[in-house]
Chain A
């Protein structure tokens, strides 16, 4: 009995420690104190002023940039990753294993290394850094995740399906659209959502590829803001909103994964 209580306590303490920072931000987003830690009574003023873009134009700009980059990068990497997964699936066993391994390297590789190497690449090619380079960088690190979520769908598929489509008179292109894509669509959607969250979340790679033309994403804006001393109070409600959105996305992804497993 005592053991059980100890185990429970340990678990709850651990969870509290893990989530305390986020909880504090969420709680203090409902008060209008300038400094974090002061509770001056419940208020939605910060949420209101966040919606009022005039006041914090640069913050809203950063948010819009972040979302635009995330959607473009997620869309492109979903296309690239799905095509790559189909290619990898059709390789012979040994090459397939090798490609699978190569695909995991960018995932395991530190963001900072990816960031620096992309920075050096763009500089050496003489490409001016800005919106395009950030999008390209995000596509680079999102694609492997899409490959990872599409490959299992292909492996589950009856290997004769593609041949059956050809046999019934479909050209290879028609077989791809009418049979293969519908089969792997759940994997593609999961991959897209995953890419979206990773892209929104990224700081290390972004900061190396964003250039000095004044472009800001949310992560770089917050970083710069914090270095100037003190966070803009509106960041608290913004963080809370982003947290909830990401949470919802994650729940959707997990639900889908569970459904796929139960099928």
Chain B
């Protein structure tokens, strides 16, 4: 089986810091020989940095990288058995197509006729036969990218690294190139490591997807795994469209959300545990109200999307996005049904904000770099000094005017939970604050943060294990 093959790339405990900023945080990744691996994430998540560490353009601050069993953490790029395809092609403008592709081979002092043969083969591979003596500046974007791919694969690397190679191409060209890349991967049989922010591209191309966010790996799995069993709400939201709701796992195989119990297939979460429930829009069946309906609601809007209609249905105060081939006009009463195995349960990463703080006196506690007034603390139970502070998601107030808050932050990630938004706010104290709110905010908004004294709960800090 595949798993017995030794990994071609091993990334162990790799971190990368740029000054104060952490670009990569303890990355562990193992890539099998011949795999097509996609590193997927939003811009600024560290995916390109990870690729550059593997290529050798930057060196890891911590950790070890091995290629084909050999440690190469500090090896300069020209001695690594990998080749890269860059986003902006990076063809040498002063050389023609032939000399661009032959660049690597000539450096290896290969005989001229071998070079010629190999360049011709590479050009044929990318479907650019007879383009040898063209000026690279006269080629279209797609053609330039083909030459860039030929320039990389002609060196027969163990691993081909691709840094968003199709990002600069238009949609149609991108789709064509995706298929060609997949075909090429099959023919060449070498390992592809592909970086992209396009989830569809990742699902189409990959054997394995690595989802990254904020310098960390969120999930590694096959496209179907990632799509059907997202590990957390970030992955669920980033890959495809989804309805993400708060729910409670009543017991094994029974989950409560939207004012109703649903049968599901997940177990092992414990009893009465708060969870995130994920339902894909295409997994909700929609039909005129009947006894089959698990949920009843009103259609809010209906948009034609080409293959299907996308409808927003309001039921019990929760909005659901539903995709179906049948259209139901806005205002129609409908019934909905979801099959047990289409309900995906995710453990909540946290159920409230927990900050490390310092109790100053009975009614004051310091955390997030500010001194907060809090409800009187029983000093018999909690002593002054280091404590933990809990604040519920819904009890944090966000203010338009950043100056009005006790501290300020920037909204970094917005998740719609059917009836409210779950925001991740990056505070100026460099700590995340999670907020539930009904107000609409935008990504990147600067907000003031304030917390009422009675909503701050102080508890004893457990000794470190």
Which residues of A approach B to under 8 Å, CB–CB?
Answer: 158, 160-161, 163-172, 174, 178-179, 182-183
Choose, from B84-92, B169-177, B185-193, B349-357, the stretch at the interface. B84-92
The CA-CA distance from A167 to B163 in the complex, in Å, is 13
A183 and B103 contact, CB distance less than 8 A = no
B94 and A168 contact, CB distance less than 8 A = no
A171 and B90 contact, CB distance less than 8 A = no
The contact of A160 among B78, B90, B107, B151, by CB within 8 Å, is B90
Among all A-B residue pairs, the 3 with the closest Cβ atoms:
A160-B90, A168-B104, A164-B90
* B341, CB-defined interface residue at 8 Å: no
A171 and B94 contact, CB distance less than 8 A = no
Given A169-B155, A174-B107, CB of A164 within 8 Å of CB of B78: no
The CA-CA distance from A22 to B181 in the complex, in Å, is 66
The contact of A164 among B76, B82, B92, by CB within 8 Å, is B92
A168 and B155 contact, CB distance less than 8 A = yes
A247 CB, min distance to chain B CBs, angstroms = 30
* B7, CB-defined interface residue at 8 Å: no
The contact of A168 among B57, B88, B93, B107, by CB within 8 Å, is B107
The contact of B90 among A163, A170, A174, A178, by CB within 8 Å, is A163
Q: List 17 A-B contacts (CB under 8 A).
A: A163-B57, A163-B77, A163-B84, A166-B78, A167-B55, A167-B78, A168-B78, A168-B83, A168-B104, A168-B151, A168-B155, A169-B78, A169-B104, A170-B78, A171-B78, A179-B92, A182-B92
Q: Which residues of the other chain, B, contact A168 by a CB distance below 8 angstroms?
A: 78, 83, 103-104, 107, 151-152, 155
Q: For this complex, into which size category does the number of interface residues on chain B fall? A: 20 to 34
The CA-CA distance from A168 to B85 in the complex, in Å, is 10
The CA-CA distance from A166 to B92 in the complex, in Å, is 12
A85 CB, min distance to chain B CBs, angstroms = 18
* B108, CB-defined interface residue at 8 Å: yes
B84 and A164 contact, CB distance less than 8 A = yes
Q: Which residues of the other chain, B, contact A164 by a CB distance below 8 angstroms?
A: 84, 86, 90-92
The CA-CA distance from A75 to B91 in the complex, in Å, is 30
Beta-carbon nearest neighbor of B101 in chain A: A168
Q: Which residues of the other chain, A, contact B90 by a CB distance below 8 angstroms?
A: 158, 160-161, 163-164
B191 CB, min distance to chain A CBs, angstroms = 16
Beta-carbon nearest neighbor of A158 in chain B: B90
A169 and B107 contact, CB distance less than 8 A = yes
Within B75-126, which residues are at the interface with A (CB < 8 Å)? 76-78, 82-84, 86-94, 103-104, 107-108
Beta-carbon nearest neighbor of B163 in chain A: A160
Q: Which residues of the other chain, A, contact B104 by a CB distance below 8 angstroms?
A: 168-169
Q: Which residues of the other chain, B, contact A160 by a CB distance below 8 angstroms?
A: 86-88, 90
Within B59-88, which residues are at the interface with A (CB < 8 Å)? 76-78, 82-84, 86-88
B134 CB, min distance to chain A CBs, angstroms = 17
Beta-carbon nearest neighbor of A174 in chain B: B107
Q: Which of B94, B152, B155 has the most CB of A within 10 A?
A: B94
The CA-CA distance from A174 to B94 in the complex, in Å, is 15
Q: Which residues of the other chain, A, contact B88 by a CB distance below 8 angstroms?
A: 158, 160
B76 and A166 contact, CB distance less than 8 A = yes
Beta-carbon nearest neighbor of B161 in chain A: A167
Q: Which residues of the other chain, B, contact A172 by a CB distance below 8 angstroms?
A: 76, 78
Beta-carbon nearest neighbor of B108 in chain A: A169
The contact of A183 among B82, B83, B93, B155, by CB within 8 Å, is B93
Can you name 7 extra interface pairs (CB under 8 A) apart from A164-B84, A168-B104?
A160-B86, A161-B90, A164-B86, A164-B91, A167-B84, A169-B104, A172-B78
Given A166-B77, A167-B78, CB of A183 within 8 Å of CB of B86: no
The CA-CA distance from A18 to B139 in the complex, in Å, is 48
Q: Which residues of the other chain, B, contact A167 by a CB distance below 8 angstroms?
A: 55, 57, 77-78, 82-84, 152
Q: Which residues of the other chain, A, contact B151 by a CB distance below 8 angstroms?
A: 168
Q: Which residues of the other chain, B, contact A166 by a CB distance below 8 angstroms?
A: 56-57, 76-78
Beta-carbon nearest neighbor of A179 in chain B: B92
B407 CB, min distance to chain A CBs, angstroms = 28
- B141-162 contact mask (Cβ, 8 Å, vs A): 1 or 0: 0000000000110010000000
The CA-CA distance from A52 to B266 in the complex, in Å, is 104
The CA-CA distance from A178 to B90 in the complex, in Å, is 14
Beta-carbon nearest neighbor of B87 in chain A: A160
A154 CB, min distance to chain B CBs, angstroms = 13
Beta-carbon nearest neighbor of A160 in chain B: B90
The contact of A165 among B56, B87, B103, B155, by CB within 8 Å, is B103
A164 CB, min distance to chain B CBs, angstroms = 4
Q: Which residues of the other chain, A, contact B78 by a CB distance below 8 angstroms?
A: 166-172
B107 and A183 contact, CB distance less than 8 A = no
B17 CB, min distance to chain A CBs, angstroms = 16
B199 CB, min distance to chain A CBs, angstroms = 25
Q: Which residues of the other chain, A, contact B107 by a CB distance below 8 angstroms?
A: 168-170, 174
Beta-carbon nearest neighbor of A164 in chain B: B90
The CA-CA distance from A165 to B152 in the complex, in Å, is 11
B46 CB, min distance to chain A CBs, angstroms = 18
A182 and B94 contact, CB distance less than 8 A = yes
A161 and B55 contact, CB distance less than 8 A = no
The CA-CA distance from A170 to B82 in the complex, in Å, is 13
Q: Which residues of the other chain, A, contact B86 by a CB distance below 8 angstroms?
A: 160, 163-164
The CA-CA distance from A222 to B104 in the complex, in Å, is 57
The CA-CA distance from A56 to B91 in the complex, in Å, is 56
Beta-carbon nearest neighbor of B102 in chain A: A168
B78 CB, min distance to chain A CBs, angstroms = 5
The CA-CA distance from A182 to B96 in the complex, in Å, is 13
Q: Which residues of the other chain, A, contact B57 by a CB distance below 8 angstroms?
A: 163, 166-167
Q: Which residues of the other chain, B, contact A158 by a CB distance below 8 angstroms?
A: 88-90, 93
Q: Which residues of the other chain, B, contact A163 by a CB distance below 8 angstroms?
A: 55, 57, 77, 84, 86, 90
The CA-CA distance from A169 to B93 in the complex, in Å, is 18
Q: Which residues of the other chain, A, contact B91 by a CB distance below 8 angstroms?
A: 164
Beta-carbon nearest neighbor of B55 in chain A: A167
The CA-CA distance from A160 to B152 in the complex, in Å, is 14
Beta-carbon nearest neighbor of B92 in chain A: A179
Q: Which of A158, A164, A172, A179 has the most CB of B within 10 A?
A: A164
B77 and A161 contact, CB distance less than 8 A = no
A9 CB, min distance to chain B CBs, angstroms = 46
The CA-CA distance from A204 to B107 in the complex, in Å, is 49
A237 CB, min distance to chain B CBs, angstroms = 42
B119 CB, min distance to chain A CBs, angstroms = 13
